[in-house]
Amino acid sequence: GESVGLHLPTLSVQEGDNSIINCAYSNSASDYFIWYKQESGKGPQFIIDIRSNMDKRQGQRVTVLLNKTVKHLSLQIAATQPGDSAVYFCAENIQGGSYIPTFGRGTSLIVHP
């Protein structure tokens, strides 16, 4: 499944499928990007980050892709599990000074067993 964050805020997938969550960022000066996971009743939790000098970064079951030409980020989750159900936010930041991420609206991921 695939979602464009702001226009399709909910993504439903079956357990075991791969999930792709997309995000368009707004500031061409942003050079640090972060994906957060927010479960119900909790604050955002860091998943993975990427700097603007990279196109791809992999973590455990997650991969972030960055396309600076079109100001687009995606988060790929492999073998999605019910515990992955949450709202996912991309955030952007301009290096220099304090880290103050600017969040997008978010995409709700629902994983069906």
Partner 1 sequence: DAGVTQSPTHLIKTRGQQVTLRCSPKSGHDTVSWYQQALGQGPQFIFQYYEEEERQRGNFPDRFSGHQFPNYSSELNVNALLLGDSALYLCASSLSGRADYGYTFGSGTRLTVV
One residue of 69, 70, 100, 113 binding partner 1 per CB under 8 A: 100
Selected range binding partner 1 among 12-20, 44-52, 57-65, 78-86, rule: CB under 8 A: 44-52
44 lies in the binding site for partner 1 (CB under 8 A): yes
8 lies in the binding site for partner 1 (CB under 8 A): no
Residue 89 burial class via C-beta count within 10 angstroms: exposed 0-12, middle 13-18, buried 19 and up = buried
**Alpha carbon of 76 to those of 42, 73, 100: distances in Å?**
22, 10, 24
26 lies in the binding site for partner 1 (CB under 8 A): no
103 lies in the binding site for partner 1 (CB under 8 A): yes
**Whether 38 contacts 106, CB under 8 Å:** yes
Whose CA is closest to 80, among 65, 105, 97, 63?
63
Which is nearer to partner 1, 17 or 49 (by Cβ)?
A: 49
CB of 44 to partner 1, least distance (A): 5
From CA 81, how far away is CA 83, in angstroms rounded?
5
List interacting residues with partner 1 (CB under 8 A): 9, 32, 34, 41-46, 49, 89, 91, 93, 97-106
